[in-house]
Amino acid sequence: MLVAACVNTLDTKKPLNVIVVLVDDMGYGDLGVYGNPIVKTPNFDSFHNKSVSFSNFAVSPTCAPSRCALLTGKHEFLSSVTHTIKPMRNMSLESTTIANLFKTKGYETGLFGKWHLGQSKAYGPWARGFNKTLVVPGDMQNTHYNPKLLKNEVEIETEGYRTDIIFNEAMRFIDDNKEQPFFCYLATYTPHSPCVVPGKYTKPYNKYTKQMDAVRYKPEFNGMIANVDENLGRLMDKVKSAGLEDNTIIVVLGDNGGTFGVDTFNAGMRGVKATVWSGGIRTFSLWKLGENFIPREISEMVGHVDILPTLAEFCNLKISNKTQKELEGNSLKKLLEGKVNKLNDDRMQVHHVGRWQDPEKWRDHKYANSCVRWKQYTLVRIEPCSESNCKTCRMIWERQDGLPMLYTSNKEHHRMTMPGEWELFDLEADPYQTQNIANKHLDIVDKMSKHYEYWWGKVEKQLSK
């Protein structure tokens, strides 16, 4: 049975506005509505309860790659983004962004917050379709307090907490463009480390310190989530007070799997940021268009590459034949409107951590940290790369340097697979990915691994340029 679309009060003659909120390093399990026993996220929870939420929505394992895929509708490797450090984070100048499409349509476009896809004149957001920008001036995260920022390419001094500042700027942008269509991309720098936030946000979480792993539990991390939650509430109030609620698509999602919160609650998943286990790539994805979508949860396998084609269809954006052929995403419009329950059972998606330190060493990492998703299945291969001195990969997987595991005290989140072999998991029956069923389903392994080989062939053409 199809879900009946609710009464549509949308004025189809008036262009839709779009706001995309991308939250940095906040995992699926960091939302109270998904069962977190400690963190309070009343505004995320309220937004979730009024939205269409995708429970099987995946992004890239790390930051810059997710941003690239979101903006282009194709896997980040196909835009030459394989890491968070330069030059491997510089998004190919051949790639068209969704901001380019909105700008061509006559929309006012703004980016407020984290770009992380190249900072030079040609690679910066000002050259990739954004008219208004507020970003950090350098290559690093910079400071959360009183940061120097680039406003429309001009460095400015600011006072206050950076998350508050970028939300304020985004709300000014919304106010300034109430009478014309706009695309607002708000990408937070929190709760990414450094874990620093005003004490009033941390105070409610200090009492849990003795109960948790003292090495991994960070009250400040939870406080940063609380601050983002408060700002999300302010943003929603602004949209409503501006009279734009019924004509604005709002998408709220995370940029990768969980980080400092996974040992508190990870929604029953194995994996953290920088892994291709489900906990490293699954995130929250909440969609709202006034009261034009029936609030519900959809379990369809979807991901960040679907955002561009979905918004393009809703807003009648023109996509060139060249760009259309490159897209890996599907439009979710009919799913969101309740006109269909399924899109495409044959669809597969590939995720890969990348993160090789030498741009020329990509061939050595074909199976280093990768997975394929199809229906309820995930095919995983995580093995040492052939580059023996690849410190980044071995730090992530083996931690041979003696440092603590990344973000967690649980080594299972960084488990490797047997070298040379794919492992297959049924996420519906085994969400923590403990039962390798590859030997029982050789036909599925063959089908999914062949897709990976086909996909890697496309990657080779791009990375060898």
Q: Coil, strand or helix: which one is 366?
A: coil
pLDDT over threshold 90, residue 345: no
pLDDT at 402 over 60: no
The pLDDT of residue 216 is above 80? no
Is the per-residue pLDDT at 385 higher than 90?
Answer: no
Query: What is the torsional sign of CA 423, 426, 429, 432?
Result: positive
Q: What is the pLDDT of residues 407-430, one digit of tens each?
A: 888 889 988 898 899 999 999 999
Task: Indicate the helix (H) or strand (E) that contains 157.
Answer: strand 154-157
Is a pLDDT exceeding 70 seen at residue 215? Answer: no
In this predicted structure, the answer to whether residue 11 has a pLDDT above a threshold of 80 is no
pLDDT tens profile 79-135: 999 999 999 999 999 999 999 999 999 999 999 999 999 988 899 999 999 999 999
Which pLDDT band holds residue 136 (cuts at 50, 70, 90)?
A: very high
d(CA 423, CA 413) in angstroms, rounded, equals 15
pLDDT attached to residue 12: 58
The answer on pLDDT for 403 being more than 80 is no
- CB-based contact 61:303 (threshold 8 Å): no
- The Cα–Cα gap between 170 and 160 comes to 16
The predicted structure's pLDDT at residue 70: 98
Bigger pLDDT: 358 vs 134: 134
Query: For residue 142, what pLDDT is reported?
Result: 77
Structural domains in the chain plus CATH codes: 17-337 (3.40.720.10), 348-463 (3.30.1120.10)
Residue 58 half-sphere exposure toward CB, CA atoms < 13 A: 29
Amino acid 219: pLDDT: 93
Q: Could you read off the pLDDT of 264-311 as tens digits, one per residue?
A: 999 999 999 999 999 999 999 999 999 999 999 999 999 999 999 999
- Structure-token pair, residue 217: 């539990």
pLDDT tens digits, one per residue of 189-208: 999 999 999 999 999 999 98
> What is the band of 2 on the pLDDT scale with cuts at 50, 70, 90?
very low
Contacts 24+ apart (CB under 8 A), 207-214: 208/38, 212/263, 212/264, 213/263, 213/409
Q: Tens digits of per-residue pLDDT, 150-160?
A: 999 999 999 99
How many CA atoms lie less than 13 Å away from 327 in the CB half-sphere?
A: 24
Taking all residues of the chain, what is their mean pLDDT, rounded to a whole number?
92
Please provide residue 162's backbone torsions phi and psi, each rounded to the nearest 5 degrees: -60, -40
Q: What is the pLDDT of residue 59?
A: 98
In which band, very low, low, confident or very high, does the pLDDT at 397 lie, cut at 50, 70 and 90? Answer: low
- Among residues of the chain, what percentage have pLDDT more than 90? 81
Q: What does the buried/exposed string (b/e) look like for 209-237 if buried means 16 or more CB atoms within 10 Å of the residue's CB?
A: eeebeeebbbbbbbbbbbbbbbbbbebbe
pLDDT (tens digit, 9 = 90+) per residue, 250-265?
999 999 999 999 999 9
Q: What is the pLDDT of residue 358?
A: 86
